[in-house]
């Protein structure tokens, strides 16, 4: 589940925070996919369990070239026991 998405103009990066509800496990990873037209970017990070969820934390995705437009963001959680995919979230960068 994506909890935050935004544009950091200083770092020229898409920022996304996410977690996996109802899953508490170590050893998983989170991958962020951003799609705008024919442009596709991705980043990944290790997931960390907390008391009641597994946290993807903040995923940063640097953008080179033109960043403006609508980005479709999806976070995929990969693990042997509980893989999950977030619903797509749109982020408008102006």
In tens, the pLDDT along 6-32 reads 999 999 999 999 999 999 999 999 999
Mean pLDDT of the 71-80 span: 97
Give 3-state DSSP helix, strand, coil % of the chain, rounded to 5: 0, 65, 35
Distance, CA of 78 to chain centre? 13
Predicted local distance difference test score (pLDDT) of residue 37 = 95
Average pLDDT of the segment spanning 52-56:
96
Task: Give the Cα separation of 44 and 60 in Å (integer).
Answer: 9
Can you give the pLDDT at residue 75? 98
| Average of per-residue pLDDT across 34-38 | 96
What's the whole-model pTM score? 0.93
């Amino acid at each position: 589940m994506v909890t935050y998405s935004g544009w950091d103009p200083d770092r020229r990066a898409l920022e996304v925070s996410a977690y996996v509800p109802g899953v508490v496990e170590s050893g998983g990873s989170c991958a962020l996919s951003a799609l705008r037209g024919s442009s596709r970017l991705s980043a990944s990070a290790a997931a960390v369990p907390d008391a009641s969820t597994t946290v993807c934390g903040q995923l940063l995705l640097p953008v080179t070239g033109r960043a403006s437009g609508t980005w479709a963001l999806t976070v995929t959680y990969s693990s042997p026991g509980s893989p999950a995919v977030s619903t797509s979230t749109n982020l408008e960068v102006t």
